[in-house]
Amino acid sequence: MKIAVLRETASGERRVAATPETVKKFVALGAQVAIEQGAGAAASYDDAGYEGAGATIGTRAAVLKGADIVLGIQGPDPADLKDAAKGAWLVAGLNPFGERARVDGYAAAGIEALAMEFMPRITRAQSMDILSSQANLAGYKAVLDAAAEYGRAFPMMMTAAGTVSAAKCFVMGVGVAGLQAIATARRLGAQVSATDVRSATKEQIQSLGAKPIFVENVAGIEGEGSGGYATEMSEEYQKAQAELVSGHIAKQDIVITTALIPGRPAPRLISDAQIATMRPGSVIVDLAVESGGNVEGSVAGEVVEKHGVRIVGHKNVASRLATDSSALFARNLYNFLSTFWDKEAGKPVLDEEIGDAVRLTKDGAVVNARLLG
């Protein structure tokens, strides 16, 4: 069983899909691991470290030749996989909805593509969940990015020259990224508040020492979708939320938005008119900018200024902490493959629950129900 790990070619991608730690574990399972030369350099993992863990280092063509499993952060060009073994697995973050043509390319190439972001949100798959592991670091980094753009201090400071007031930070969307953003902003000394469409998150917000900001008295609304994801809300709720947020956001120094709905454009949470009510020098960080953005006027890959407010739209935020995000992503991949590793067969054998959820293509066809539906 040959496992190939490729150097990422997407613009700005610094992560790598295996670390010396996970290479060593794969070798212990009996696998042969081949790493493309320089694959881990941008994440501070050198070739010598991989060799020390038992991997071989080679060119892209040599690494892919006869590979049974190809690991990646983002999906490679289907044409790059022509030297892999027939029916080889591609295990990576494949952005199935956004890169459907590429998924069709994997099917045509005879690749069995397994999309890690389709991992079901069930207890036994928690250690395999790349969305959670990467969102955790993105939420942390979002607060640091906000602090870097904010021209004032986060904590209250009492000095001989007078008192510096604490920054007020508002987190919109309390999933994994939002919870980490709350915790990080609290550690930096900000006064933190947060909101979400899912009423169950109110206790989580309070447990982190933040103030929950929720729409009250709108009957029959619950934003919890399948797998713990938020769903799109009714017009009645959206109107009530907009009124609540408008009054609150005008008093905030930092706003961090994290709201995503799988397979759909990111919901618009902040309008240009609401930005105009914020005081000059305030900062908004839009973590959903690559999916259309939660903030009107945010631009993917740029920091723009509107009405004196800086709107941060960094792409691939987890990659900005490449060493740690690679380590977590690589462990997700190892946990996934090792859980299903059949010692007698010398390879992983997936079950229906998880296998059918993550498998996009097989035997030359697209087979995932979420794509076919």
> Which of 100, 124, 126, 370 is an active site residue?
126
Which residues, 6+ apart, have CB-to-CB distance to 96 below 8 Å? 103, 115, 117, 118, 360, 368, 370, 371
Angle at 175 between CA 166 and CA 234, to 5 degrees: 105
CB-CB contact of 113 with 150 (8 Å): no
Choosing from 14, 15, 50, 132, which is the catalytic residue? 132
Is 126 one of the catalytic residues? yes
Termini Cα distance of the chain: 34
150 is catalytic: no
CA distance readout (Å), 330 to 22, 27, 87, 132, 334: 7, 14, 22, 13, 6
Phi, psi of 24 (to 5 degrees): -60, -40
Question: In angstroms, how far is CA 75 from the centroid of its own chain?
Answer: 15
Whether residue 127 contacts residue 335, with contact meaning beta carbons closer than 8 Å, is answered with yes
One-character DSSP codes across 63-80: HHTT-SEEEEEEPPPGGG
Unique residue bearing structure tokens 């979420």:
370
Three-state DSSP state, 303 = strand
Is 50 an annotated catalytic residue?
no
Q: Which of 50, 68, 129, 291 does the annotation list as catalytic?
A: 129
The SS3 assignment for 28 reads helix
Contacts 24+ apart (CB under 8 A), 198-206: 198/174, 198/222, 198/223, 198/224, 198/230, 199/223, 200/224, 201/174, 204/174, 204/179, 205/174
Residue in 44, 47, 229, 246 annotated catalytic: 229
**Could you confirm whether 121 is annotated as catalytic?**
yes
Q: Of 284, 286, 295, 197, whose CA–CA distance to 238 is shortest?
A: 197
CA dist., res. 133 & res. 131, Å (int):
6
| Other CB atoms within 10 Å distance of the CB of residue 206 | 12
| DSSP tag of 359 | B
- Choosing from 102, 121, 152, 268, which is the catalytic residue? 121
- 218: tokens are 């709108």
**129 is known as an active-site residue:** yes
Give the single-character DSSP code of 308.
T
What amino acid positions are annotated as catalytic residues? 121, 126, 129, 132, 229
